[in-house]
A and B are shown apart, each in its own frame.
Chain A
Amino acid sequence: MVTPPSRPGRLGEVKTEVATPTASAVFAPRSRSGVALRVTPVDEVGLEARAKTFTTRSIKTSSKRAAIDLAVSCIDLTTLEGMDTPGKVAALCRKAVRPDPSNPAVPSVAAVCVYPQLVPVAVTHTNGTGVHVASVAGAFPSGQSSLAVRIADIEQAVADGADEIDIVISRGAFLAGDYNYVFNEIEAQKVACGPAHLKVILETGELGSYDQIRKASMLAMAAGADFIKTSTGKVAHNSSMPVALCMAEAIRDYAEQTGEIVGLKVAGGIRTAKQAWHYLVLIAETLGTQWLTPDLFRIGASSLLNDLLLQVQKLDTGRYSGPNYVSVD
């Protein structure tokens, strides 16, 4: 079992070992470099009103193609089903590398995202393509296994070749106020990732309020997340514009306070090109266009890719198209 390194607790108390959750509702995290972090309160109504304004922006036609390419290149093309098979994953990988076989101008997606069991398959089919293999490890989607089991899961996925790991936070401990516990867990899992990038899923639909989302964002970033991610896609409320805005503002604050740059991944329910544009506008106006790269922005999705491809066909041919003109996966 990996124990988190012992160092002055950035959340106050020093803990060398993750044990039973105990509530310690004082939330005063420090960044990796020891900066005390300020967490700004969030007003729900104002946040949602602002998030809505991004959906009324209209993107220039000449920028539209670039926006589509960007959105494609930021996708974590995902399949997370009990019925996933090597065949399904192979097909997904092919689609990820070459989304539109008839149009080589369409870029590859950023990564494929699969369960740990299927990582070797994905690695085989993306090898040498530049498409990353992401795996949801650590008792996804509930996280309700012992930390030791979750760490073993991560280590196995990384050993199998995953270079990005998506984990969930322990919502139970977070909601119980045991921020030390959540912090130390993330930190331990970050260690387990080794060279692989860590995306920390907050599962915002289970946190109850934007204040909690903002707080969890800061906690995850301080504990070592390379990306913070909205949702698993497995609960009723997934990513939404206000949730993404709330997290983007936390990322901006974290960067201002610490100089450390963290990425954002939105996931769940993003199915149309229009939705993807809304997110791009949100990122551009909140974090700046420098965040609009696959290194710092990802969209976890499956059906979104085909909608983007249909938009490309519309731009190229001037005709509206239909699902028969793109491959199912």
Chain B
Amino acid sequence: MADAIEPAGVKFNLEYAPALESTSIVKIDAEYGLFIGGKFVEPKSGETFATVSPSTEETLARISSASAADVDRAVKAARKAQTEIWGPMSGRDRAKYLFRIARQLQERAREFAVLETIDGGKPIRESRDVDVPLAAAHFFYHAGWADKLEYAFPDRRIAPKGVVGQIIPWNFPLLMLAWKVAPALATGNTVVLKPAETTSLTALLFAQLLQDIDLPPGVVNIVTGAGATGSALVEHKDVDKLAFTGSTSVGKQIQRSAAARGVPLTLELGGKAAHIVFEDAALDQAVEGVINGIYFNQGHVCCAGSRLLVQESIAESFVDRLKNRLATVRVGNPLDKNTDVGAINSAEQLGRITELVAAGVAEGAELYQPECSLPDRGYWFRPTIFTNVQQSHRIAREEIFGPVLSVLTFRTPEEAVAKANDTQYGLSAGIWTEKGSKILWMANELDAGVVWANTFNQFDAASPFGGYKESGFGREGGLQGLAPYVSLSSPKRGSR
């Protein structure tokens, strides 16, 4: 052994380096106006509010708060653009504008990704690999529809709804904007969009992008603000269609208002998805699916797999696998490329998560959180697994919208279905088994708009997304996602 050189230290400790994404690409203004009629304008209200970075609690900018008068101005701009320009425009030209948007989003992808992470707290890995590419893909997909609508709805007369009011949440700010704006524009509508008050920045950067591509003024208007701004948009008498993504409670308020006036509506609301793992599953991939299903975007995902239903025969070992895997999940600075779980979006949301987790403990569920150090400033919550959860516990019924997994068990496929469907929600569900016929049986039985079998949290512009039951109605994406934005009527013809 004389000549041999041994490596230093018997046990090797693999430390990851902070790999911070540079923020130099992003320029944040001190103050933002409202985007109305193709220009940034001062709010009539004169009011602004601060938007903070949830990972540092630093104020990033001041955002204008749109009053009812501002919303009215935006709706008027949208109406004018719809009747005079966008409605009469050929599908071919609308398509070209949408293609331009898609290309610009691809070219400026890094800028949008970094800004999304700064403003919303989500890991740069996700904004870079998921949010922004999917947003661009959504515009590209719908661009192609703009001049092909007669193939989407054969044997129908097709007309745009007109002016569409859209309200989006803070969990996927740019992506939700794309899901709303792209189909609306492709079908000839104009838009008044309200981003969530904690995450307006990428929408405002998007507005600048629209100026760069010369989108006609008024086709897209962005009114920032909180709930009151949203109400003003919902209540506005000259809006022809409403679309909302957000909580079920707010969704119901909006439906009350819209239904009473007969305004067409699509809702994409909350969820409490069951993620069902059978003993014959590809267990290592199931572990990945479950981890991705609940900790992706800090669990701020309406379709998150927040209820793990695992077959009793493998429950213990599967939970062990989850805990082992959780030990490698990295929580921290969202701008770090090694980060898997970033910051909770707001102090308010952190409070809600904390409250429900406390309820889980009080109800007798067993809490597990891995050791991990959290930054001193900002809003953070440790990835959490609750075991011994019963169907009647609050943490098994209420949407937590955070990185909290509730584990329940089942014995038979029938029981899995019964437990999975025992909720007022019906947005998504996950199935893990290597038995094909069981997948198809389960997929049939589950009340959910999206069923992921042997995968989870996959999204695509061509794939319709939306819920059953109180998770909402209408679809976004795919052929089915176009329908809410058009008025269809029977063609005039003789009796058949």
A–B proximity contact (CB within 8 A): yes
Interface residues of A (CB under 8 A from B): 40-43, 45-47, 49-50, 56-63, 66-67, 69-70, 72-73, 97-98, 104-108, 128-131, 249, 280-281, 284-285, 289-290, 292-293
> Are B10 and A130 touching (Cβ within 8 A)?
no
> Are B17 and A130 touching (Cβ within 8 A)?
no
Q: A40-B283, A107-B7 are in contact. Are A130 and B14 (CB under 8 A)?
A: no
Residues of A within 8 A of B337 (CB): 56, 58
Could you jot down 12 A-B contacts, CB within 8 Å?
A45-B455, A46-B282, A58-B337, A59-B15, A63-B15, A63-B17, A66-B13, A97-B4, A108-B5, A129-B4, A249-B284, A293-B12
> Are B12 and A70 touching (Cβ within 8 A)?
yes
Q: Judge whether B366 is part of the interface by a CB distance below 8 angstroms.
A: no
Nearest A residue to B283, CB-CB: A40
Of the residues A43, A73, A98, A285, contact of B6 by C-beta under 8 Å: A73
Measured between alpha carbons, how far is A73 from B9 in the docked complex, in Å?
Answer: 12
Nearest B residue to A248, CB-CB: B284
Interface 0/1 of B16-35, CB less than 8 Å to A:
11110000000000000000
Of the residues A58, A280, A284, contact of B338 by C-beta under 8 Å: A58
Q: Judge whether B466 is part of the interface by a CB distance below 8 angstroms.
A: no
Residues of B within 8 A of A41 (CB): 280-283, 434
Nearest A residue to B19, CB-CB: A58
Measured between alpha carbons, how far is A134 from B357 in the docked complex, in Å?
Answer: 55
Residues of A within 8 A of B362 (CB): none
Measured between alpha carbons, how far is A290 from B16 in the docked complex, in Å?
Answer: 17
Residues of A within 8 A of B282 (CB): 40-43, 46-47
Nearest B residue to A62, CB-CB: B15
Q: A59-B15, A289-B12 are in contact. Are A46 and B285 (CB under 8 A)?
A: yes
Nearest A residue to B4, CB-CB: A130
Q: A63-B14, A129-B4 are in contact. Are A57 and B338 (CB under 8 A)?
A: yes
> Are A97 and B3 touching (Cβ within 8 A)?
yes
Measured between alpha carbons, how far is A130 from B337 in the docked complex, in Å?
Answer: 39
> Are B8 and A66 touching (Cβ within 8 A)?
yes
If over half of B's interface residues share one DSSP class (helix, strand or loop), that class is named, otherwise mixed; here it is loop
> Are A104 and B5 touching (Cβ within 8 A)?
yes
- How many pairs of A and B residues are in contact by the CB < 8 Å rule? 113
Residues of A within 8 A of B240 (CB): none
Q: Judge whether B289 is part of the interface by a CB distance below 8 angstroms.
A: yes
> Are A59 and B14 touching (Cβ within 8 A)?
yes
Rounded to whole Å, the gap between the CB of A275 and the closest CB of chain B is: 15
Measured between alpha carbons, how far is A105 from B9 in the docked complex, in Å?
Answer: 13
Residues of A within 8 A of B13 (CB): 63, 66, 289
Given contacts A50-B284, A66-B12, A70-B7, 20 further A-B contacts (CB under 8 A): A40-B283, A43-B282, A43-B454, A46-B284, A46-B454, A49-B288, A58-B16, A58-B19, A59-B17, A62-B15, A63-B14, A66-B13, A72-B7, A107-B7, A108-B3, A129-B4, A130-B1, A130-B6, A281-B14, A290-B11
Measured between alpha carbons, how far is A72 from B8 in the docked complex, in Å?
Answer: 12
Q: Judge whether B373 is part of the interface by a CB distance below 8 angstroms.
A: no
Residues of A within 8 A of B15 (CB): 59-60, 62-63
Residues of A within 8 A of B10 (CB): 293
Q: Judge whether B437 is part of the interface by a CB distance below 8 angstroms.
A: no
Q: A70-B7, A292-B12 are in contact. Are A42 and B284 (CB under 8 A)?
A: yes
The interface size bin for chain B is 20 to 34
What 10 pairs across the A-B complex have the smallest Cβ distances?
A: A130-B4, A46-B285, A60-B17, A58-B19, A43-B282, A129-B3, A43-B285, A107-B5, A130-B1, A292-B12
Rounded to whole Å, the gap between the CB of B201 and the closest CB of chain A is: 25
Interface residues of B (CB under 8 A from A): 1-19, 125, 280-285, 288-289, 328, 337-338, 434, 454-455
> Are A284 and B285 touching (Cβ within 8 A)?
no
> Are B19 and A98 touching (Cβ within 8 A)?
no
Measured between alpha carbons, how far is A157 from B283 in the docked complex, in Å?
Answer: 40
Nearest B residue to A47, CB-CB: B285
Rounded to whole Å, the gap between the CB of A51 and the closest CB of chain B is: 10
> Are B16 and A57 touching (Cβ within 8 A)?
yes
Most buried by A among B7, B9, B281: B7
Of the residues B14, B16, B18, B455, contact of A289 by C-beta under 8 Å: B14
> Are B16 and A60 touching (Cβ within 8 A)?
yes
> Are B9 and A66 touching (Cβ within 8 A)?
yes
Measured between alpha carbons, how far is A291 from B101 in the docked complex, in Å?
Answer: 49
> Are A106 and B19 touching (Cβ within 8 A)?
no
Measured between alpha carbons, how far is A70 from B285 in the docked complex, in Å?
Answer: 29
Measured between alpha carbons, how far is A63 from B2 in the docked complex, in Å?
Answer: 27
Measured between alpha carbons, how far is A40 from B9 in the docked complex, in Å?
Answer: 35
> Are B5 and A106 touching (Cβ within 8 A)?
yes
Residues of A within 8 A of B283 (CB): 40-41
Rounded to whole Å, the gap between the CB of A76 and the closest CB of chain B is: 15
Measured between alpha carbons, how far is A70 from B10 in the docked complex, in Å?
Answer: 10
Measured between alpha carbons, how far is A105 from B6 in the docked complex, in Å?
Answer: 9
> Are B328 and A128 touching (Cβ within 8 A)?
no
Measured between alpha carbons, how far is A46 from B7 in the docked complex, in Å?
Answer: 35
> Are A69 and B454 touching (Cβ within 8 A)?
no
Residues of B within 8 A of A69 (CB): 7-8
Rounded to whole Å, the gap between the CB of B295 and the closest CB of chain A is: 13
> Are A292 and B14 touching (Cβ within 8 A)?
yes
Residues of B within 8 A of A129 (CB): 1-4
Residues of A within 8 A of B288 (CB): 46, 49-50
Measured between alpha carbons, how far is A297 from B290 in the docked complex, in Å?
Answer: 29
Measured between alpha carbons, how far is A106 from B284 in the docked complex, in Å?
Answer: 37
Measured between alpha carbons, how far is A278 from B490 in the docked complex, in Å?
Answer: 60
Residues of A within 8 A of B338 (CB): 56-58
